[in-house]
Structure 1
Amino acid sequence: MSHTKQLTSLQLDALKEAANIGAGNAAGALAQFLGRRIDMSVPRTALISCADIASYAGLEEDSQSISIAFRVIGDLPGHFLMLLSEKTGLSLLKGLLPETKQVEIDNMGELEESCLKEVGNIMTASFLIALSVFLKVNLMNSLPEMTICEGGLFSELLLDEFKCSDAKALMLETRFHESEENLNIYLFFLPTETSLKKLLKKLGLP
């Protein structure tokens, strides 16, 4: 299947179900880590251009955003992204480090950066473990790489870091929120074209 070909509604529904399982596992891990209830939803599943991820995630051109990226290793190689708005990043840090004074996103210390990377690592690993069990495949994530940039520059980051061009990529967007506020956490799984074919085959789809 070429990346230029759109997925059918049946394929998208099956992928959304797989994403729901992974996201549910990730939400549980995040709730345990933060010590508070976390809800999640998978509102959109689509085949999009990597260059459109920033707009799909609602990243504003002139606002800071946080990208925590992983390579996916195993039977379905690709990349996995966790995107945070500046507000969400600060909210997470406030919950994880209540005794630490308020920091700005662009001048975080090693401790703050380590905390956000760990959030990304826990959620990504939980997501991939659930998908591994559901699809009966072997999936692991690499160590996290965190980047802070303006939303308008995120497409350039994807091109530089992942060599991601205008070719289509599978987007499994997941949003996490709690009763107090919307955390605006977005997860994207970007499999290679070969991995996407294998994924659909595992789901019993053409």
Structure 2
Amino acid sequence: MAAVLMHMLGDLTGRTMLVFPRSSALRLAELMLHRDAGTSLEFGEMEQSALKEAGNILSSAYMNALSEFMHLMLLPSPPSLAVDMSTAVLTTAYLQFSSQRDYVFCVESEFMMVKLSEKLRGFFLLLPDPASLQVLLRAVRVA
């Protein structure tokens, strides 16, 4: 599994994770680096950089949508990347983000490459801080 992790700053605080299965993460890096399918077997420096950039773009897009919906300012931090077994990535992220987070918002994302007849699946996770969770829940109830 590969996960791009970012802090969410501004009017709401917390963390975001963009999570991909290993094969999808490698393929996404190949596409971004204009490489043929199956040519990237490991997460080298270029693959890591490409995934962090993809995570930055996608997480920022999700945060912008949330920001516009709630009329709040949300700012992303620079991305970091974790590559490991899924349990290790998620457990480490949970412990680093504080055990006070009982709720996670999850958005499944599919990337369709029609010309290549491919699709890649990933998940955007939003882990709000406790105070931010209350703001989010109030906003959802109003909408």
- The TM-score, its normalising length taken from structure 2, stands at 0.85
Q: Distance in 2 between matches of 1:145 and 1:164?
A: 20
1:171-190 pair list within 5 angstroms: 171-178=105-112, 179=114, 180-190=117-127
2:39 paired with 1:102:
yes
Match of 1:155 in 2: 90
Contact 2:7–2:14 (Cα < 8 Å) also in 1 = yes
Match of 1:199 in 2: 136
SS of the aligned residue for 2:19 comes to: strand
Q: Distance in 2 between matches of 1:98 and 1:150?
A: 26
Q: What amino acid maps onto 2:108 in structure 1?
A: T
Q: Distance in 2 between matches of 1:158 and 1:68?
A: 11
Q: Percent identity?
A: 24
Q: Distance in 1 between matches of 2:90 and 2:19?
A: 13
Residue 99 of structure 1 deviates from its aligned partner by 4.3
Q: Distance in 1 between matches of 2:137 and 2:94?
A: 26
2:67 paired with 1:132:
yes
Residue 131 of structure 1 deviates from its aligned partner by 1.2
Summarize deviations over 1:173-202 as a string: whole Å, max 9, x none: 222231423312110111112111112223
Residue 204 of structure 1 deviates from its aligned partner by 4.7
Contact 1:170–1:191 (Cα < 8 Å) also in 2 = yes
Q: Distance in 2 between matches of 1:149 and 1:198?
A: 33
Is 151-160 or 139-148 further displaced after alignment?
151-160
Match of 2:102 in 1: 168
Q: How many matched pairs?
A: 138
Match of 2:26 in 1: 90
Q: Distance in 2 between matches of 1:154 and 1:93?
A: 19
Question: Unaligned regions of 5+ residues in structure 1, if any?
Answer: 1-64
Q: 1:199 to 1:99 in 2, by over 3 A?
A: closer
- The TM-score, its normalising length taken from structure 1, stands at 0.61
Supply the RMSD in Å over aligned alpha carbons: 2.0
